[in-house]
Amino acid sequence: MHQPRRLGQFSFFDIGTDRDYFDDGLNQSIMRQISEDCYLPANRLLLRLIEKNPAIRITFCVSGTALKQMELFAPSVLKSFRMLAATGAVEFLAETYYHSLSCLINFEEFVSQVEMHADKIHELFGMRPSVFRNTELIYNDEIGSVVARLGFKGIFTDGIDEILNGQSPNRLYQHPYQDISVFLRNYRLSDDIAFRFAQSNRQGNTLTPSKYLEWLKSIPRQDSLINVGMDYETFGEHQKRDTGIFRFLEGLLTSLARDKQIRMITPSEAIDL
């Protein structure tokens, strides 16, 4: 989850004036709209499902700028995240505070933003992140080493075919010379929900919880860890309510929680297995 703090429009004649750099009227409007369409209904649904099915596990990565705008413009969203955190079924990952590309420019700035974000998660939710997710899942072993030295136990990246070179994304890997685990996102299974859900419905090839569960069970048993991750705005913003996306989410999580072959776990739990 990320919301940038959007800049205002400036002309040459604004130079030297006391205008604020940021358009917080626009930021407030967007945050409140997305909260109504996505954050609040999705969080309410997850809280209800977790209370009914304690086996459910969810992991969030929320940028510092998104958290700050929740504090300013949507405190009810922040409260709903605190309620989810209190269930013990939710983990929060660390990232760069500003959802930035600092890892490509300056590692000192990168470390500063990561520590700033981890402190914010601890302040708001009472838990200190132990697993890291970089902006756009950017990763190399040098970044992994820096993150390991910061004390994180795991880091996420994307399970891209060219990098895997025939290996499976559905396993937990290890950094070659640091004590840190590397999680790979299964981008196909993730994108089936994030980008292809409404399209599959329009084409009459409806994606249902039972069909998705069959796909998961078709993965070889030795591929024991399947990471599915997407923008949270998939639910209600990118895929609108009338597509049935909330019904799909409810049906899928309920089915997974009750299934005897599949177990939902957080990244920290995966590392500790």
Q: Which residues are catalytic?
A: 136
According to DSSP H, which parts of the chain are helical?
Answer: 24-34, 40-52, 64-73, 75-86, 107-125, 141-149, 161-164, 187-194, 197-202, 209-217, 245-258, 267-272
Contacts of 151 (CB under 8 A, 6+ apart): 130
- DSSP assignment string, 11-42: -GGGTTS---SB-HHHHHHHHHHHIIIIIHHH
The residue among 119, 108, 100 whose CA lies nearest residue 149 is 108
Nearest-angstrom CA–CA distance, 196 and 199:
5
- Calculated CA dihedral for residues 63, 56, 262, 201, nearest 10 degrees: -70
Name the burial class of residue 265, with classes exposed (0-12), middle (13-18) and buried (19+) by CB atoms within 10 angstroms of its CB. Answer: middle
Residue with tokens 């913003």: 237
Name the burial class of residue 142, with classes exposed (0-12), middle (13-18) and buried (19+) by CB atoms within 10 angstroms of its CB. Answer: exposed
